Amino acid sequence: MKQNNETYLHRKAIEVLYSWIRVDYLRIDLEQQFCVKGFVKFTPDLTCYDHNGIKTIYEVTYKSPINAFKLAKMQLYFWNHNITPLVYEIDAEWILKCVNKPDKLKLIRMI
């Protein structure tokens, strides 16, 4: 059984971010697993779709940023599947400090 090390703060921040952006996309998947030959390569927090496929990936970070290993797996997957989504990293604490939906997101970085 896979151990889930996710914190409540991280989980709640994902839910809040989802509530902010849900009207901007055709579909949003929470923790969609991206697999190659049956093996999970990475699982972003939010995967957002428009009519042309994957448009944006959001990674909500709390204690540590996206590491180079996960980033490399994501880039290789996107390259091999000829997709070019925007990948945003956003701080969980910043999300939860917002009283209302902000006019724009404060990103840690765009990857």
Taken in order 90, 96, 97, 102, the sign of the CA dihedral is: positive
- Residue 4 pLDDT > 70: no
Is the pTM of the predicted complex or chain greater than 0.85?
yes
Phi, psi of 24 (to 5 degrees): -90, -10
Domain boundaries, the chain: 8-96
Q: What is the CATH number of domain 8-96?
A: 3.40.1350
Residues 81-102 have pLDDT tens digits of: 999 999 999 999 999 999 899 9
Closest CA relative to residue 68, chosen from 78, 60, 76, 58:
76
Confidence (pLDDT) at 7: 87
Confidence of residue 106 (pLDDT cuts 50, 70, 90): confident
Neighbours of 95 (CB within 10 A): 22
